[in-house]
Chain A
Amino acid sequence: MIKTEHLTKRYDTLTAVEDVSFEVEPGEVLGFLGPNGAGKTTTMRMLAGFVAPTSGRASICGHDVATDPLAAKAALGYLPEGAPSYGEMTVRRFLGFIADLRALEGAHRRERLQHVIEHLQLGAVLEQTIDTLSKGFRRRVGLAQAIVHDPPVLILDEPTDGLDPNQKHEVRALINDMARDKIIVISTHILEEVDAVCSRAIIIARGRIVADDTPAGLAARSRYHNAVTMQLEQPAQLQTARTAVAALPAVERVEVSERDARLTALPQAGATILPAVSELAARTGLKLKELHLESGRLDEVFRTITA
């Protein structure tokens, strides 16, 4: 379990993180969201024992990060921001170095190294120095060192930053794969990632937690939650459709995108408008390319609560 109590970090004049408290249970994948400079990395560094909090406490699996750092760090796999490593080392030597520090030995050491090399597809670059690797490979080397000792807790600072879509998919699959029996905290500003891997999301802005919810719960805060979007076959019908939809009882407002003949009806709070809209479309003979119910837009929620 990860537990933080009133974690606060102040630099001379700047308060990077203020009064952050949360708990994460095994099986949870917590997404740490927030604008750049919101305090995500500082919070993660405090969890990992790299930065000492000004006040407050953090513990990993019951080991206080400040008073029992070695035990806390032993239970933790950590990918620092930007996946730093030793550029002059080959991938094989680097992973061997980390395995040594993690006190892996004998057959278990070989097995774990082989496991991470296979899962992160590092076989082809084992003898290359890390300096010569592409950004994607470096990130994977960083992930490999974080999981080589099979830790119960993983903290990954922007694990998919700089990866191409295929590599992102692989890393997310890897995280989902490990999610069952581990505690995983990832930070990201890619909102689709939250839907793809997280079971819970904390949004942090200006050093404070401003939302702590499931991805679905967050999406439900959106103005677009339960909104209905339709795309018309004939752009000429757009104005008529707009007037008709706007006249429906539970519709709060209508947004129109002329470019792709798209119309979005936003419901009044708590109302359901899909049946009424689809019935209207059938009744007035609107030709639809597409009609769907929105679950809410995370990016809009994100902007609203971090602005």
Chain B
Amino acid sequence: MRNVGIIMRRELASYFATPLAYVFILIFLMLANAFAFYLGGFYERGQADLDPFFTFHPWLYLFLIPAISMKLWAEERKSGSIELLMTQPVRLWDAVLGKFLAGWIFTALALALTFPLWITVNYLGHPDNGAIVAAYLGSLLLAGGFLAIGSCMSALTRNQVVAFILGVVVCFGFLLAGFPLVLDLFRGWLPQVVVDALASLSFLTHFDSIVKGVIDVRDLLYFAMLIAFFLLATAIALELRKDL
């Protein structure tokens, strides 16, 4: 566990070593607020809640999270530092977890910086703050799911652009898993049970219920298992081919 912390700290610091981190946070805050006000009609609705803010998070994350995760492993492969890291007395799992957590903490930081909106809505009315906390939690879990997928895609290639595109595509698939766009692809040749299972994998259904303030153990479990699955896949991808 000690090594997880060491690797996480190094990775987190590397985000802030370039202006990229600040640019990212700035863009995230601008877009998150712009979506809430212009697309979500934050004022016009006349309701004191943050629904118009959280509703757009999945779409925001679709492009922003793969941008965070693309470097996790692809950069290590490209620069060769993966050989340095993997020949230290470190478990592969410690490295996978440490890097994932660094990305997650970074996202959490960006998310936390949206707090002025929360203050605003409290100033304007009397929102259900419990529901808002739940929604923040849901948003963070969703980001974790996207990040785990991105981490896995990053482990498959030494090219960050490829990692980014793969990340967006797979995340998009998970986002829309409950929609005809994705389901129709499988309906013809897979049994209905499998199609239903695929539909239940959708990010949106699980995210929507948390955002509404309903924290269901099944939704939490869904995100936990999704993250665990893709981190495991990351480790397997690395183990199979470290010297890509």
Instruction: Judge whether B124 is part of the interface by a CB distance below 8 angstroms.
Output: no
Bound CA span A50–B242, Å: 7
Of B2, B87, B89, the residue contacting A50 (CB under 8 A) is: B87
Within A69-102, the residues touching B (CB, 8 Å) are 70-71, 73-74, 76, 78, 80-82, 84-89, 93, 97-98, 100-102
CB of B115, distance to nearest CB on chain A (Å): 29
Count CB-based A-B contacts (< 8 Å). 67
Bound CA span A87–B88, Å: 18
Interface band, chain B: 20 to 34
Bound CA span A51–B88, Å: 13
Q: A98: nearest residue on chain B (CB-CB)?
A: B88
Interface residue tally for chain A (C-beta within 8 Å) = 29
B3 touches A49 (CB 8 A): no
B14 touches A50 (CB 8 A): no
User: Which chain A residues lie closer than 8 Å to B86 at the CB level?
Assistant: 49-50
Instruction: Judge whether A3 is part of the interface by a CB distance below 8 angstroms.
Output: no
Bound CA span A255–B67, Å: 66
Of A74, A82, A88, A98, the residue contacting B80 (CB under 8 A) is: A82
Bound CA span A86–B6, Å: 14
User: Which chain B residues lie closer than 8 Å to A89 at the CB level?
Assistant: 10, 13-14, 17
A85/B90 contact (C-beta < 8 A), A50-B242, A97-B10, A101-B3 known: no
Instruction: Judge whether B81 is part of the interface by a CB distance below 8 angstroms.
Output: yes
B81 touches A86 (CB 8 A): yes
CB of A98, distance to nearest CB on chain B (Å): 7
Instruction: Judge whether A38 is part of the interface by a CB distance below 8 angstroms.
Output: no
Q: A49: nearest residue on chain B (CB-CB)?
A: B87
A86 touches B14 (CB 8 A): yes
B10 touches A50 (CB 8 A): no
Of B3, B14, B91, the residue contacting A88 (CB under 8 A) is: B14
Bound CA span A70–B242, Å: 17
Of A45, A85, A145, the residue contacting B243 (CB under 8 A) is: A45
CB of B7, distance to nearest CB on chain A (Å): 8
Instruction: Judge whether A48 is part of the interface by a CB distance below 8 angstroms.
Output: yes
A102 touches B88 (CB 8 A): yes
Bound CA span A48–B82, Å: 13
User: Which chain A residues lie closer than 8 Å to B84 at the CB level?
Assistant: 80, 84-85, 145
User: Which chain A residues lie closer than 8 Å to B83 at the CB level?
Assistant: 45, 48, 50, 80-81, 84
User: Which chain A residues lie closer than 8 Å to B6 at the CB level?
Assistant: 97, 100-101
A73 touches B88 (CB 8 A): yes
Interface string of B50-94 (1 = CB under 8 A from A): 000000000000000000000000000001110110111111000
Bound CA span A86–B14, Å: 9
A102/B80 contact (C-beta < 8 A), A88-B17, A89-B14 known: no
Q: B79: nearest residue on chain A (CB-CB)?
A: A84
Instruction: Judge whether B120 is part of the interface by a CB distance below 8 angstroms.
Output: no
Within B1-45, the residues touching A (CB, 8 Å) are 2-3, 6-7, 10, 13-14, 17-18
B3 touches A50 (CB 8 A): no
Bound CA span A103–B2, Å: 9
Bound CA span A85–B83, Å: 9
Bound CA span A169–B90, Å: 33
User: Which chain A residues lie closer than 8 Å to B90 at the CB level?
Assistant: 70, 73, 101
CB of A52, distance to nearest CB on chain B (Å): 8
B243 touches A80 (CB 8 A): no
Bound CA span A50–B239, Å: 9
B87 touches A76 (CB 8 A): yes
A74 touches B242 (CB 8 A): no
Q: B86: nearest residue on chain A (CB-CB)?
A: A50
Q: A87: nearest residue on chain B (CB-CB)?
A: B79
CB of B225, distance to nearest CB on chain A (Å): 28
CB of A54, distance to nearest CB on chain B (Å): 13
What are 26 pairs between A and B in contact, CB < 8 Å? A49-B86, A50-B83, A50-B87, A51-B243, A71-B89, A73-B88, A74-B89, A78-B87, A80-B80, A80-B83, A82-B80, A84-B83, A85-B81, A85-B84, A86-B14, A86-B79, A86-B81, A88-B14, A88-B18, A89-B13, A89-B14, A89-B17, A97-B6, A98-B88, A101-B88, A129-B17
What would 16 more interface pairs be, CB under 8 Å, given A49-B86, A50-B86, A70-B91? Answer: A51-B243, A70-B89, A73-B90, A76-B87, A80-B84, A80-B87, A81-B83, A84-B79, A84-B83, A86-B79, A86-B81, A87-B79, A101-B3, A101-B6, A101-B7, A102-B89
**Pairs of residues from A and B, 8 with the lowest C-beta to C-beta distance, nearest first:** A84-B80, A88-B17, A80-B83, A74-B89, A73-B89, A101-B88, A48-B87, A100-B6
